[in-house]
Amino acid sequence: MALLWTILSIVALAHSQTFNLLQSYKGLDFFNRAFTLYEGWDPTFGYVDYVSLTVAEQYGLVNITEIGKTGIARWGVDTSSILDPNANLGRKSLRLHSVQTFTHGLFVLDVAHVPADVCGTWPAFWLLGNGVWPTTGEVDIIEQTNNQKSNIMSLHSDSVPNCTIAGTGQSGTLLTNDCAYANSYTGCTVSSNQLSGAALNGAGGGVFVLLWTSQGMQMWTFHRSEIPPSIKSKTKAPLLSEFGLPVANFQGSCDFDAHFHEQQMIFNTDFCGSNAGETFQTHGCPMATSKSWESCNIFVANTPQAFLESYWEVNYLNVYEVVSAPAVPASAPEAPRDFTSYAGATWPASWTAPAPFSTPTRAPANNPKVPRPVMGQTVVNPSVETAGPDMTKRDYSLGRLPSAFGRA
């Protein structure tokens, strides 16, 4: 009976909502004022070096001229360099953040290619609020780690007020139902039963959809041959009635407006770190030592050719206003956001950090003016060069992060 009621609720929702296009991103929009590139070390301790557009072009991660010609945004990672696995900055990659923020809406991402499911990788398309993580929420639409075939869709929230989901009225498999980080680092998660990674690429890509209202969030995945007609249309607004049962239906005992608001959209391809690094061994990836995270770094450092399929190719990203529940107009953040701390926000004070990872220009830990990943403390961009001990190498001896974080 509960399942039937949920399905009827979704059907009623489908017939009551219409959408107006709010923003459309394609081609060079991802590399001009619509998105910014985060540069430097990874907030989630990945073996990655997020670079500027200039450096990305130099290393062949992106070809702006080609994007200008085709109107299709394509970017990848460094696939040629052999690296030092103990260096703080790892394989070069890109991390894109939308300048505008959103509260509610229908998000439609059409991709011709997503990063393939390869050991050492951790690609994601996600939404993130500002402040101490995750008090303003996190929404993961695309997230895969290592060689795993399933896309994991998830929400991360604060623990007050309570936020749990029922896990009914969806085609995907409910893994965890508590969205609060205080009770589970995984958040509330659903494993998709639709094509993802290399399998999706083999089918010509597809479309990922997020519907976000005060009542909850629903996510769909359509491979190329199954895209609803209204999404294919260049003149119509999407018709929810064409979408069918969502892969993930995040509804339940949760005040969604209290937990999720003013979110930026983010694309990134990470390596290892607090998710792919921690699960490298359990996912059956090649171990060079007895340590999962360390072996992940070694693999990523020494096998650049493994990442030839680790690229994004985006046809467009459309954001629609939900007419029956108008979105807060897209706006720029009031101040530049700090993405040098965990997931774009400060670390919860209760967490235990791994070894100090730092850039060659970072000061020692006792210098508060230059950041290191210290929990419960907001940090600033690591750009000040100061004297101090050599902190350019990784140290795996000081513990680890939990094995699954959602966005870590």
Report the candidate in 335, 330, 388, 395 with the shortest Cα–Cα distance to residue 364. Answer: 388
Cβ burial of 65 (10 Å; 0-12, 13-18, 19+) is exposed
315: three-class secondary structure by DSSP: strand
Distance between CA 246 and CA 151 in Å, rounded? 14
Distance between CA atoms of residues 161 and 216, nearest Å: 15
| Sole residue written with tokens 């990659």 | 93
Strands (E), 216-303: 216-223, 248-250, 252-254, 264-271
Residue 35's contacts (CB-CB under 8 Å, 6 or more residues apart) are 25, 29, 96, 97, 98, 99
Helix locations, 30-105, DSSP H: 53-58, 64-70
CB proximity list for 149: less than 8 A, separation 6 or greater: 117, 196, 197, 199
Q: Which is the catalytic residue, given 39, 57, 138, 334?
A: 138
Q: What share of the chain is helix, strand, coil (3-state, %, to 5)?
A: 20, 30, 50
Q: Which residues contact 322 (CB under 8 A, 6 or more apart)?
A: 17, 19, 104, 105, 106, 211, 212, 213
Which residue matches tokens 């394609």? 26
Catalytic residue status for 309 = no
- Please state whether the peptide bond connecting residue 161 to the residue before it is cis, i.e. omega within 30 degrees of 0: yes
Instruction: List phi, psi (to 5°) of 277.
Output: -70, -45
The reply to whether 385 belongs to the active site is no
Determine which one of 143, 278, 294, 321 is catalytic: 143
Active site residues: 138, 143
